[in-house]
C-alpha cells in the first residue's frame, strides 16, 4: 500500500516536472539553432541591417523590418482593443443591469474561441474591401485591416480580465463614491479604474503579448513583404508570418535559410517572455490589498 | 449649463458609448457569421465532405482535412489529458508551498504565454527530427498537447480547489489513503470542471494552424490518414491554403470549410458550457 502510494506520487510529480522540461526544450531548441545562425551572421548585422531578404539571391539579414511589421500590427490591434475592451468592462460592471452581463459575457467569450484562420479570412475578404472603399491607397494586403481584426479578436481578453479587476475592487469604494453624489461616469473613472489599474495594466500587457505572437491573421491579411515602415496601408511582414512563409516552402534542413526561422523565433520568444514576466511582476508588486 | 448638468451629460454620453462598444462585438460576430454563411453554405454538399482535395476548386473536397482534424483531436486528447490532469493533481494536492512549487507555477504561467508558433519550432526539432516521427499525425498531436497542457493543468487545479475540504477530511478520517481519497472522492467531485477545461483546450487545438504548418503538415494530402504515423492535413491548414489562392472559387471553398470548422469548435464549446452549467446547478456544497 505504502509503496503503491509512493509510486503514484512519483508519477504525478513526474508529470508536473515535464512542464519544466518543455521550457528547457523550447529554450534549448531556439538557442542551439540560433547560435549556429549567429556563427555565420554577426549579431550586429542581425540587429542593424535594414533589409530582410534571406530567401533572395542577395541575402540581407536585418531583423528590423520584421520587428517593425510586428509592432505596427500589434499597435493597431491594441489601439482598437484597449478603448473598446475597457469601455465594455466598465459598462458591464458599473452601468449594466445584472442580466445583460450574463448574456454578453458568454457571447464575447464565443468571439475568443473562433480559430484565428477564420479571423484572417474575415480581414482579407470583408474588412480590406470595406476599408478600400474609402481609403484609396490601401493595398490588398496591409497592416491596417489585419491589425483591426486582431484588435477585435483581443477585445474579449481585455474586457474580461479588466472586468475581473474592476469587479474585485470592494463595493464599499463604489458605494462611497455614489454616496458622495458622484455620477456613474465619475465613479468609474475617478474611483474604480484607478483602484483596478494594476489588473487593467496586466490585461493590456497580456494582450500585447498575444498580439505579438499572433500568426494566422497577419499571415493571411498583412502580406509577406518585409519592409521597415510605419505605413499601415502597404503590405508588411511580421516575425510570425516569416516563420510560416519559410515552413511552407522547401528549405533544406541545416541551411542558413532554415536557421533564420529559429533566429526569428528566439526574437519573438524574448519579446513575449519579457512581456509575460513584466505582467507577473506588476500583478505581484502593485496588487491593491483591501481588508 | 451648470457643473452638475455637465456631469450628468457625460454620464449619459458614456452610457451610449458603452452600449455601442458592448454590442459592437455582437454585431461583428453577426456580420461575420452571415457573411460566411452566404458565401459558403451553397457549396456544402455530400461531395464536398467526402471528396479528396483537387487542383480544381469545384471538385475539391475536405475529406482528408476533417479526418485529419479528427485524428489530431483524439490523439491530442489521449496525450494531453492524462498528463495535464496528473500534473494538476500533483500541484494542488501533493506539492507543499516551496521554492519548487512556486517555480513550477511561474513556469506553467509562462508556458501559457508562449506563442503557438514557437511550439511549432519545438515540435519540428524534437518530434519531427530528433524522435524521427517525421511530418506525422503523432508529431502534430504531441506538439499540440504541449500547447494545451498549461490550460488543462490550470483548470484541473481550479476544479480541485472548488471541492470542499470536508469531503477530503471525511474520506481520510474513514481510513482512506491519500490516493484513494483523490481517486474516489476528489476527482469524481471535480470531474465536471476538469472536463470543461479539457474540452475548451481541445477546441483550441482544433483551431490551430500555425504550429502544424511549422512542423510540416501539408496542405495537399491526396489520401486519408490511416495510422498515427501518416502524413496529414487539418481543416485550418486547408482553409489557409484556399484563402491564399487568388481565384474566387477557392475563397468559396474556404468559406464552406470555415462553416464546418466553426461547427466543430462551437459544438465543443457548447458541450463545455453545458457541463459547466450542469455542474453549477447540481452541486450545492
| Ramachandran sector of residue B52 (left: φ over 0; alpha: ψ -120 to 50; beta: rest) | beta
Please report, for residues A42, A241, B201, the alpha-carbon distance to residue A26 in angstroms, rounded to integers and kept in the order given. Answer: 23, 19, 21
ipTM computed for the complex: 0.92
Instruction: State the pLDDT at residue A148.
Output: 95
Q: Is B243 on the interface with A (CB under 8 A)?
A: yes
Min Cα distance B265 → chain A (Å) is 7
The parts of chain A modelled with pLDDT lower than 70 are 97, 288-291
Instruction: State the pLDDT at residue A263.
Output: 93
Q: What percent of chain B has pLDDT over 70?
A: 98
* Model confidence at B282: pLDDT above 70: no
* Model confidence at B284: pLDDT above 60: no
pLDDT tens profile B57-79 = 777 788 888 999 999 999 999 99
Residue A67, number of CB atoms within 10 A of its CB: 21
Question: Between these two residues, B36 and B46, which has the higher pLDDT value?
Answer: B36
Q: May I ask the CATH class of domain A64-286?
A: mainly alpha
- Overall pTM > 0.90: yes
Min Cα distance A254 → chain B (Å) is 11
- CB-based contact B121 A115, cutoff 8 Å: no
| Partners of residue A124 in chain B, C-beta under 8 Å | 243
| Partners of residue A82 in chain B, C-beta under 8 Å | none
3 state DSSP class of A274: helix
Instruction: State the pLDDT at residue A289.
Output: 64
Which grid cell is A45? 548585422
Q: What are phi and psi of A61, to 5 degrees?
A: -125, 45
Smallest CA–CA distance from B95 into chain A, residue: A13
Q: What are phi and psi of A225, to 5 degrees?
A: -120, 95
- Mean pLDDT score across all residues of chain B: 88
Smallest CA–CA distance from B26 into chain A, residue: A107
- Burial bucket for residue B2 (CB in 10 Å: 0-12, 13-18, 19+): exposed
Q: Is B15 on the interface with A (CB under 8 A)?
A: yes
Instruction: State the pLDDT at residue A59.
Output: 82
Q: Is B10 on the interface with A (CB under 8 A)?
A: yes
Report residue B54's pLDDT band, with 50, 70 and 90 as the boundaries: confident
Which grid cell is A72? 505596427
Q: Is B18 on the interface with A (CB under 8 A)?
A: yes
- CB-based contact A247 B177, cutoff 8 Å: no
**Nearest by CB to A22, which of B7, B25, B146?**
B146
Report residue B219's pLDDT band, with 50, 70 and 90 as the boundaries: low
Instruction: State the pLDDT at residue B150.
Output: 94
Instruction: State the pLDDT at residue B285.
Output: 53
Domain boundaries defined on chain A: 2-40, 64-286
**Nearest by CB to B11, which of A111, A183, A248?**
A183
Task: Find the mean pLDDT for residues B178-182.
Answer: 92
pLDDT tens profile B8-17 = 888 888 888 8
Q: How many beta-carbon pairs under 8 angstroms link A with B?
A: 243
- Burial bucket for residue B16 (CB in 10 Å: 0-12, 13-18, 19+): exposed
The whole-angstrom distance between residue A43's C-alpha and the CA centroid of its chain comes to 26
**Nearest by CB to B126, which of A13, A29, A244?**
A29
**Nearest by CB to B25, which of A8, A107, A269?**
A107
Min Cα distance A213 → chain B (Å) is 5
Greatest mean pLDDT among A85-89, B98-102, B228-232 lies in A85-89
Which grid cell is B135? 511530418
User: In chain B, which among 81-140 make CB contacts under 8 A with chain A?
Assistant: 82-84, 86-87, 89-91, 94-95, 103-104, 106-111, 113-122, 125-126, 129
- CB-based contact B179 A8, cutoff 8 Å: yes
Q: What are phi and psi of B221, to 5 degrees?
A: -120, 110
Q: Would you list the DSSP string of B208-262?
A: --HHHHHTT--S---S---STTSB---HHHHHHHHHTSSSHHHHHHHHHHHHHHH
Tell me the C-alpha distance between A235 and A147, whole Å: 12
| Partners of residue A188 in chain B, C-beta under 8 Å | 14
Min Cα distance B243 → chain A (Å) is 7
Amino acid at each position: 500500500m505504502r509503496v503503491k502510494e509512493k509510486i503514484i506520487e512519483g508519477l504525478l510529480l513526474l508529470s508536473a516536472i515535464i512542464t519544466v522540461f518543455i521550457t528547457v526544450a523550447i529554450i534549448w531548441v531556439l538557442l542551439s539553432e540560433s547560435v549556429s545562425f549567429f556563427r555565420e551572421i554577426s549579431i550586429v548585422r542581425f540587429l542593424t541591417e535594414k533589409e530582410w531578404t534571406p530567401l533572395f539571391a542577395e541575402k540581407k539579414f536585418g531583423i528590423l523590418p520584421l520587428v517593425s511589421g510586428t509592432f505596427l500590427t500589434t499597435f493597431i490591434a491594441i489601439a482598437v482593443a484597449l478603448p473598446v475592451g475597457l469601455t465594455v468592462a466598465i459598462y458591464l460592471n458599473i452601468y449594466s443591469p445584472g442580466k445583460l452581463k450574463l448574456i454578453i459575457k458568454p457571447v464575447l467569450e464565443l468571439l475568443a474561441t473562433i480559430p484565428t484562420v477564420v479571423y484572417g479570412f474575415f480581414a482579407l475578404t470583408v474588412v480590406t474591401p470595406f476599408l478600400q472603399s474609402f481609403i484609396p491607397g490601401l493595398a490588398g494586403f496591409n497592416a491596417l485591416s489585419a491589425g483591426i481584426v486582431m484588435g477585435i479578436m483581443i477585445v474579449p481578453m481585455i474586457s474580461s480580465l479588466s472586468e475581473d479587476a474592476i469587479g474585485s475592487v470592494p463595493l464599499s469604494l463604489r458605494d462611497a463614491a455614489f454616496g458622495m453624489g458622484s455620477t456613474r461616469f465619475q465613479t468609474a473613472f475617478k474611483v474604480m479604474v484607478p483602484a483596478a489599474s494594476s489588473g487593467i495594466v496586466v490585461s493590456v500587457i497580456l494582450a500585447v503579448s498575444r498580439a505579438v505572437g499572433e500568426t494566422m491573421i497577419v499571415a493571411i491579411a498583412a502580406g509577406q513583404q518585409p519592409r521597415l515602415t510605419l505605413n499601415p496601408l502597404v503590405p508588411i511582414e511580421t516575425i510570425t508570418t516569416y516563420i510560416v512563409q519559410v515552413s511552407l516552402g522547401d528549405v533544406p534542413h541545416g541551411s542558413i535559410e532554415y536557421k533564420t526561422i529559429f533566429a526569428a523565433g528566439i526574437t519573438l520568444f524574448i519579446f513575449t517572455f519579457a512581456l509575460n514576466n513584466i505582467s507577473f511582476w506588476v500583478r505581484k508588486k502593485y496588487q491593491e490589498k483591501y481588508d | 449649463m451648470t457643473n452638475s448638468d455637465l456631469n450628468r451629460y457625460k454620464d449619459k454620453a458614456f452610457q451610449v458609448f458603452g452600449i455601442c462598444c458592448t454590442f459592437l462585438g455582437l454585431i461583428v460576430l453577426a456580420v461575420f457569421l452571415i457573411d460566411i454563411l452566404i458565401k459558403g453554405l451553397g457549396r456544402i454538399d455530400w461531395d464536398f465532405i467526402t471528396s479528396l482535395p483537387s487542383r480544381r476548386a469545384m471538385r475539391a473536397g475536405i475529406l482528408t482535412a476533417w479526418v485529419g482534424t479528427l485524428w489530431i483531436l483524439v490523439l491530442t486528447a489521449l496525450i494531453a489529458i492524462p498528463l495535464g490532469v496528473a500534473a494538476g493533481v500533483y500541484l494542488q494536492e501533493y506539492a507543499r508551498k516551496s521554492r519548487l512549487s512556486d517555480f513550477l507555477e511561474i513556469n506553467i504561467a509562462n508556458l501559457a504565454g508562449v506563442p503557438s508558433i514557437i511550439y511549432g519550432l519545438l515540435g519540428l526539432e524534437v518530434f519531427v527530427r530528433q524522435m524521427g516521427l517525421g511530418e506525422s499525425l503523432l508529431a502534430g498531436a504531441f506538439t499540440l498537447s504541449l500547447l494545451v497542457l498549461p490550460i488543462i493543468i490550470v483548470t484541473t487545479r481550479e476544479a480541485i480547489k472548488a471541492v470542499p475540504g470536508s469531503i477530503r477530511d471525511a474520506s481520510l478520517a474513514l481510513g482512506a489513503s491519500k490516493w484513494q481519497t483523490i481517486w474516489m472522492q476528489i476527482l469524481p467531485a471535480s470531474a465536471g470542471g476538469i472536463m470543461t477545461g479539457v474540452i475548451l483546450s481541445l477546441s483550441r487545438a482544433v483551431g490551430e494552424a500555425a504550429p502544424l504548418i511549422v512542423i510540416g503538415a501539408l496542405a495537399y494530402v491526396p489520401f486519408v490518414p490511416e495510422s498515427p504515423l501518416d502524413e496529414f492535413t487539418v481543416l485550418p491548414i486547408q482553409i489557409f491554403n484556399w484563402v491564399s489562392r487568388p481565384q474566387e472559387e477557392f475563397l468559396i471553398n474556404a468559406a464552406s470549410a470555415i462553416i464546418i470548422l466553426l461547427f466543430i469548435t462551437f459544438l465543443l464549446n457548447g458541450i463545455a458550457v453545458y457541463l459547466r452549467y450542469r455542474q453549477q446547478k447540481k452541486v450545492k456544497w
